[in-house]
Chains A and B, each alone.
Chain A
Amino acid sequence: MLQLTRREALGAGAGAFAITAFGLPAMAAAVEDAIKKFTGGAMPAEGGVDLTAPEIAENGNTVPIEVAADGAVAIAVFADGNPAPEVCTFNFGPLAGSSAAATRIRLAKTQNVIAVAKFADGSFKMAKAVVKVTIGGCGG
């Protein structure tokens, strides 16, 4: 167990370290890795992707989401607070009526859902939405 008061931490010049190490959960790194794996290295810019998800999910076991991005050949969905960040990847074929799909996903806790769209020219765009996952009333 790390015993470190704020004063000691600051005094040791470790403030920046503490924020980096404890302020950002390890999951954020995992989701970034997963997104980079999908894009082949880069973090895409936000915009150009529609991600529809409830602000508050009544139950994390079944959260309806919808993704759409005009002209996308594929859309991958990630959740940065789950044990594994990958959720699913939609690949749209030549007979797809639109680059859009809806499904139902599991969210372990309140977290970001991220949709990354891949376009025919090899570019990527993304969208992010926070979904609050609530805990059942009686803890049951």
Chain B
Amino acid sequence: MAKIKPRVKVPKKAEAGEVITIKALISHPMESGRRKDKKTGKLIPRKIINRFTCDFVGASQSGNVIDVQLEPAISTNPYFQFEAKVPESGEFRFKWVEDGGAVYELAKKIAVG
């Protein structure tokens, strides 16, 4: 895997109160900690995305949409699809947390009306 890069798919517009579908994917090897290095025979240390969150932030209303705890049984390039309510114009903020504490973030604006 060349690079860790998050991407999300969120509609640009919605009606107030509408339920929209969101897709999120991050390119990540999800090293399970159970694989051996073919050359050295040693275990490759675990390094996975262990948490993914999506929050909505608007002028008057904000809140969590989904908060996922991931284990090594999630496939390479973790993918999630879920639904969110859109109370007003604002933005969806996405966060992926990697073992060791590295954080990858992305935000997508959505307009109501």
Residues in chain A within 8 A of chain B (CB atoms) = 61-63, 66, 79, 82-84, 86-98, 100-107
Tell me whether B73 and A101 are in contact (CB under 8 A). no
Q: Report the bound CA distance from A94 to B66 in whole Å.
A: 9
B69, A88: Cβ atoms closer than 8 Å: yes
Least CB distance, B58 to chain A, in whole angstroms: 10
Rounded to whole angstroms, the CA-CA distance of A59 and B70 in the bound complex is 20
Contact A84 B82, CB 8 Å, known A93-B66, A97-B19, A101-B66: no
Bound state CA distance, A94 and B74, in angstroms?
A: 25
Given A82-B73, A84-B71, A105-B73, the answer on whether A95 and B84 have CB atoms closer than 8 Å is yes
In the bound assembly, the distance between CA atoms of A42 and B77 in angstroms comes to 34
Contact B64 A95 (CB under 8 A): yes
Residue of B nearest to A34 (CB): B71
Residue in chain B with minimal CB distance to A98: B83
Chain B residue nearest in CB terms to A113: B73
**B10 CB to nearest A CB, Å:** 12
* B contacts with A: majority SS: strand
- Of B72, B81, B85, which one neighbours A96 at CB under 8 angstroms? B85
Measured in the bound complex, the distance between the Cα atoms of B81 and A101 in whole Å is 6
Instruction: Look across to chain B and name the residue whose beta carbon is closest to the beta carbon of A93.
Output: B64
**Within the assembled complex, what's the spacing in Å between the Cα atoms of A88 and B66?**
12
Number of CB contacts from chain A to chain B under 8 A: 100
Q: Do residues A100 and B73 form an inter-chain contact, with CB atoms below 8 A?
A: no
Instruction: Write the B46-62 contact mask toward A (1 if CB under 8 angstroms, else 0).
Output: 00000000011000000
Return chain B residues, CB-CB under 8 Å to A61. Answer: 75-76
CB neighbours of A79 from chain B (8 A): 73
Q: How far is the CB of B93 from chain A (nearest CB, A)?
A: 12
Cα(A62)–Cα(B78), bound, Å: 10
Report the minimal beta-carbon distance from B85 to chain A, rounded to whole angstroms: 5
Once the chains are docked, how many angstroms separate the CA of A79 from the CA of B85?
A: 30
* B56 partner residues in chain A, CB cutoff 8 A: 95
* B66 close to A103 (CB less than 8 A): no
B42 CB, nearest partner CB in chain A, Å: 18
Q: Is the CB of B68 within 8 A of A87?
A: no
Given A61-B76, A82-B73, is A97 in contact with B82 using a C-beta cutoff of 8 Å? Answer: yes
> What CA separation (Å) do A107 and B35 show in the bound complex?
15
Q: Please, which residues of chain B bring their CB within 8 A of the CB of A97?
A: 19-21, 65, 82-85
Question: Of all chain A residues, which has the CB nearest B84?
Answer: A97
Asked if B68 contacts A94 (CB within 8 A), the reply is: no
